[in-house]
Structures are given as C-alpha cells and as structure tokens.
Chains A and B, each alone.
Chain A
Amino acid sequence: MNKLVKLFTIFISAITLTIASISSSFAKVEGEYIVLGSAISLTGKYSSNGVHTQNGYNMAVERINKMGGVNVGGKSYKFEIIYYDDESNPKRAAQLAERLIKQDGVHYMLGPYSSGLTKAIAPVTEKYKIPMVEANGASRSLFTKGYKYLFAVLSPANQYLEVAIDLAVEKNGGKPVRIAQAFEQDAFSQDVRLGILDAAKRTGSEIIIDDKLPKELNDMAATLAKVKATKPDVLVVSGHTKGALTAIRQISEMKVDVPMLAMTHCDAAKLSKQHGKNSEYALCASQWHKNLSYKDKFFGGGKKYDRDFKKEFGYAPPYQSAESSAALLVFKDAFERANSFDRDKVRDALKTTDMQTFYGNIKFGPGGQNVAKPMILFQVRCKGDTCENKVVAPTKWASDKFYHPIPKWSERS
C-alpha cells in the first residue's frame, strides 16, 4: 500500500512537471495571445515618461489587435502585455525582468523607460536569450556591448545634437565655431556630449567650456557667467528636463547672449509652455515630430497618430509615446517574417528588419541601434504669447526656417 502511494506520488509529480515545463515553454503564446513583458516606471522619478511609454505600447497593441493581429503560420494572434512597476529603480527593473522571464514565462520583452533602466535589464534578457525591442534607451553604451537580443527603434544618444554643431558651422560660413557645453553626469547626457566632441573634431571646432553638471544641481549660474565672459558661438546644454528648465530660467534671468542655444528634452520639459517667450529660439533635438511625412498602415502618418492619441489619452503624444508604439510594429513585422514563435528565429527576423513606420524608418545596425532614422531639430518660436516647436532641420521636413543668430536680450521685447 505504502509503495502504491509512493508510486502514485511520483506519477502525479511527473505529470505536473511535464505540464509545467510544457506550459512554460508555450507561455509566450497562450491561446490566441502573444504575451510580451515589460517592467516600466509607473511610480518614482521617471513615472511621467514611464506612463507615456506605457500609453504608447497600449495604443499600438489595441490598434494592431483591432486590425487583424499578427499572422503566424496562417493563424491570427493578438498581443498582450504583462506590466510590472519598476519604481524607477534599476535594481528592481532587473529583478522584474527575471520574474517576467522565469515565473511568467515571457519570451519577448518590451523595453522600460530611460537608458539607465534599459542598461539594467539588457544583461538579463541577454542571459536568457529573450529578444527585447526597446524604445526609450538611447545611451550609446547599450549598443557597444555586443548584445545580440537588444533592438532599439530610436537613434542613439550621441546623434542627438551632432546636427546642431553642423548647423552652427554652416551658419558661420563653413568656419569652425567655439562651443560652450554643460552636461549632466549621467549615461545619456554624457553620450550626447561624446557626439558633440566628435562633431567638434570633425569640423575643427573648439570647445571652450566643458562643464559637467552634478545630478542634484539645479543652479548653473556659474557656468552661465563663464559663458557670458567667453562669448561662444554655440551653447549646448543637456540635463534632462531639469537641465532644460534651469538653463532657460537662468539664461533669461542673467541675460546671457549667445547666438545659438542647443538642448535636449525641451518637449518633455514642456519648455514652450512653462517658460513661454523666454524659451524662444532654443534649438532642441527630438526623435520624432508629428509633421514628419513617414507613414504606415496602422497609424497612418504622424498627424493622424497625434489626433488618435489625443482622443484616447487626452494629451498630445510626446516622442516617448510614438517610439514606444513603433516598437510593437517592429515586433509584429518580425513575428510575421519569422512565421514562427521560436525565439532565435524571431531574433533573426528582428535583425533583418527594414521597414517604415509613422515614427520613421527602422533598420537595426550591428549593435542593435536604429541606423535608418535621422534625429530632427526643432526651434521654439512664439507668436504673441503662444510658443510652439517648429521643425527646422533636416531641411526635408523643415516647416520653418532656422532663426539665427538669436537676438540679444536687450533687443527682445
């Protein structure tokens, strides 16, 4: 009798184990659903951009599912995403990635918000050979580590403001310019800085001020005083939204006259709204703008995306949402081309992605970064009291002419 019980136990546990192993290896596709996983910042300091990212993902999932889903092996599947809140904390993000992969059996991941958190998750997805398409980690160091399962739909950080230096040289009659720069000490901003260093070298320009802003700093009066004393041709500032807002506040208060001001995160900081006229003429790098003429069959073009997003979420989509939506389009395309749910086949399909989405062309370089899409620059321009971001470069999409040089404060009303 005792033996019988033992045998029975072994039998049951064997069955359970088999079921468990089967279900985990098929958990990526449950019934008609393809399950994706994402750790995302819903609380903590990145929560506003985390929510923009999530809204972008959700919008694309809904749209793709409504328009026929993903066709693999002659059958139509729908997307579903499991989200966890990473609390804007890299350690937590890495833990949650493990959990998504090991406990929830997720086989395909979507990226979190910010370079720092993507950096925390990438080693985990790499370890388990899980393809991850990410839309919000631009740091160059993500693409130099030789990751094989990481794909980014956005342009890498070093490209953000390179164009601005070229533009400055062009406005200077092709002659080298003098550059003053201030960058926050974090992965992303320092990569933007590397891009400027490259551009300076290429054009023979000189960097006369090279300040690194501590993360906790919200006062850059000292840097700006130096700028006033040395009169550079271009001032470049990158320090996320806080850097952008602090720079404009103090430049306008200290009446710093500089012919060209190039920045990042102007739209995330709602610069034109928060600082109004004081932010006029600031030149900003952006991944996307609704006026670009890219198209796809799911979202139409940028303007339609803008309208649909507004209707759904009640605010205009920042580029963080647009690129997140694009990540799903990339996944759908890869699944269909792979015509399989095998992770390595999907990865290979991702690698050969070459498509156009409303967000831009997408083609991955050897490191996983998107090499097919240029950064765009817009300039804040005001009419009366309302200020708007106008695309000024590249010329193909420019809706307005680049205004240069910035008028002196004494001449501005």
Chain B
Amino acid sequence: MDLLIFQAPILMVQASLDGILLGILFALIAYGMALQWGVMNIINIAQGDLVILGGYIAYTMYLVGIHPAWGVIVSPIIMYFVGWALYKLVINKVVDRDLFISILATFGIAIVFQQLMNFVFGADVVVAQSEYGTTMLFDNSVTLPNSKIFAAFISVIYAIGLVIYMRRSRLGRAIRATAQNARAAKILGVDTEKVYAATFGINAALCGIAGALISITLTLHPYVGLPYTVRSFMIVIVAGLGNLPAVALSGMGLGLFEEFADYILGTEFRIGAVFMLLVFILVYRRFKLSKKREYLK
C-alpha cells in the first residue's frame, strides 16, 4: 500500500498539483505574517483566526445570496479595518516590547476572536458553495477542483499587486523603510505609528482574502485557525522575512512535501512529517551559521 505512488505514477501528478495549489494559498497567509513580523517584530498567533474571520465574511455573503467568490474583494476591505482597529486597541501597546509580550497579546486576541466567532456564527462546521466544477486531466485520472485553481490564481494576483504596491507607493516605501530601521525612518519623517497600523491592516486584509478562498475550498469552524498560524509560521521560518519569492517557494514546497508525505507515509504522519522537516531545517540552519562563525574567526 505504501508503494502505491510508484504503482500509479499518475498519483504523483495529482499529489504535485494538489500540493502546489494548497501551498500557494498558505504562502499568501505566510506573506502577511512575514510582512508584519518584519516591520513590527510581532509574531501574530491570531493570524489563523483572522483567516477564519475573513472566511466567515465570505460565508455570510453566501448566506444572503451573494456568490462567495466576491468575498475576495469585500473581505479584505472589512478585514483591513479590523486589523487597523486591532492595532489601535492592542498591538500599539506591545509593539516595542519583547517578543514574548506580543505572543501573549496575540494569543489573547486569538481566544477572544474564537469565542466571538463561536458566539456569532455558532460552533457548526460550515462551507460555502462556489459551484465551480472540476477540471479533469489525463482521461479523468487527475482531477482539479476549479475552486482550488481559482484560489491559487487570486492569491497570485494579490501577491503580485502587493509587491508592486510595496515598491511603488509612498506607503509601501515607508513600510519598507520602517522594516529596515524604524528609528531612522522616524527621524526622516516617516510616521511609524501610521505605518504600523497600515501594516497590520494589510496583513489582516491578506488573511481576509485567504479566508474567503478557504470558505469555498475547505471548511470553516471558529476553532480551526491554529493550523493556519502554525503553517504560515513555518513558511516564514524557512523563507525569512520580507522575501516574497522565497515565501511563495517555501509555501509551495511545504504543500508538496505535505501531500507526498501523506501518500508515502500515510495521512497520520502528514503533520508529523511537516514538523520533522521544520526541526531539520532549524538544525541545518544553525549548523550552517555556526560554520560561518568559525570562518569569521
């Protein structure tokens, strides 16, 4: 059974495509995390819960009869303001403190969000239907849900848009400057307070897009945010901060690795394999760094 993948090579194509499509979606969430981690030095534990909230916005639209795909436009707009408000209420009080405080604060936010979503939307698992159908390849042996293709496509569009925005716009440049050196940026007249608020808002907006996409591809539940936080954390650890191509690659790589681990080792080892990979990468990085140090000596 374990060797099924070699008996049926077409499964490899299926696994690769599934992995990449899923990975792109994760990369979008991870990019938001990398952005605000880089700029504000905050690890946002509530990242996954912002994603789920974004998903519920799309789901609410679906309930009132609007196609949930419009969520990818409505949800980021609402989520931007949610992120902005969160910054003004909580994050601005912890932004200059050490990492532990910010983890604690965002963990608290995560719990509050979970309970609020539970209160408003109920504890039932819900899905929104896109009715997009399925693309079949290779004589129906490889199937790709169009909703997943749509999700990957939208993620790529937004990611490209964001890169251009970061390069060209005034705010984008201010954000990058703040990330490089907040104090210097402040001296040169950048309103870092505003930059922080905008960064947190942009991160929340990215989560909103991802959430809307998840509502039509996966399932929503008030308490499933954490896996998204963990995955994006891992992608960022591997890719480093503020490097979009690396985040995208590492996202896709993680998706691929997960799918193949699932095929070869079995579903029960899927998450375990991912964590093993994380440990391996961290050890490997340390090993490389220590070599560098010796060289410098």
Contact = CB atoms under 8 A, between A and B. Distances in A.
Interface of A: 43-49, 182, 185, 208-209, 211-214, 216-223, 225-226, 228-230, 240-242, 245-246, 249-250, 253-255, 268-270, 274-276, 410
A275 B267 contact: no
A287 to B, nearest CB: 19
B136 to A, nearest CB: 7
B187 interface: no
B254 to A, nearest CB: 13
A211 B266 contact: yes
A49 B11 CA distance: 38
A229 B219 contact: no
Contact of B123 (A44, A222, A246): A44
Given A225-B11, A249-B219, A255 B140 contact: yes
Given A48-B122, A208-B1, A226 B143 contact: no
Given A182-B267, A255-B140, A242 B125 contact: yes
A187 to B, nearest CB: 15
A269 B125 contact: yes
A208 B1 CA distance: 7
Contact of B11 (A46, A219, A229): A229
Contacts of B118: 43-45, 47
Contact of A254 (B145, B222, B223): B145
Contacts of B145: 250, 253-254
A211 B18 contact: no
Contact of A242 (B10, B115, B221): B221
Nearest to A41: B123
Interface size class of B (residues with CB under 8 A): 35 or more
A403 to B, nearest CB: 23
Given A212-B267, A254-B145, A230 B222 contact: no
B76 to A, nearest CB: 22
A245 B15 CA distance: 21
A221 B270 contact: no
Contacts of A219: 22, 218
B124 A48 contact: yes
Given A45-B222, A249-B219, A255 B11 contact: no
Contacts of B266: 211-212
A292 to B, nearest CB: 25
A212 to B, nearest CB: 4
19 contacts: A45-B222, A46-B123, A48-B124, A209-B1, A212-B266, A218-B219, A220-B267, A222-B15, A228-B141, A228-B143, A229-B4, A229-B7, A230-B4, A242-B219, A245-B125, A253-B145, A253-B147, A274-B127, A276-B129
Question: Ordered nearest first, which 8 A-B pairs have the shortest CB separation?
Answer: A253-B145, A222-B262, A212-B268, A211-B267, A216-B227, A47-B123, A48-B123, A254-B143
B226 interface: yes
B157 interface: no
Nearest to A223: B267
B271 to A, nearest CB: 5
A129 to B, nearest CB: 33
Given A48-B122, A229-B11, A211 B268 contact: yes
A224 to B, nearest CB: 9
A213 B267 contact: yes
B49 interface: no
Contacts of B4: 226, 229-230
A216 B271 contact: yes
Contact of B15 (A225, A246, A249, A410): A225
